[in-house]
Structure 1
């Protein structure tokens, strides 16, 4: 597997985790102790990681 695709997959997984943490913090579930505005930060960073990872996986070509 290509290193760029592996890095893109890792970014995508980290983005999903950030989106979930931001959503849980916004809803007040899980005892994260984040206010509504503070939960916006992991959500936005998660979105950036998610879309960067998806774009990296999509645009990287396979070589045999």
Structure 2
């Protein structure tokens, strides 16, 4: 596994975590003290990380 794919995987995992935190904050579940508008920030950042990671993994070719 090369460095680009590894970095893409890390970005994807961080994106999933950001999306989950944003959704939980929007729903008011847990002890995340964010308002409805402020909960959009981790969701959008997580979405950007997720899409960038998926794109990086998808476009990186394998070396043989």
Which TM class, normalised by the smaller chain length? over 0.9
Residue 36 (structure 1) shift: 0.2
Structure 1 unaligned runs (5+)? Answer: none
Structure 2 unaligned runs (5+)? Answer: none
- What is the root-mean-square deviation of aligned Cα atoms in Å? 0.4
Which residue in 2 is equivalent to 1:2?
Answer: 2
Count of paired positions: 64
State yes or no: 1:35 paired with 2:35.
Answer: yes
Residue aligned with 1:29, SS? coil
Residue aligned with 2:14, SS? helix
Mapping for residues 1-64 of structure 1, pairs under 5 Å: 1-64=1-64
Instruction: Give distance in 2, aligned partners of 1:2 and 1:54.
Output: 15
Structure 1 runs (4+) greater than 4 angstroms displaced: none
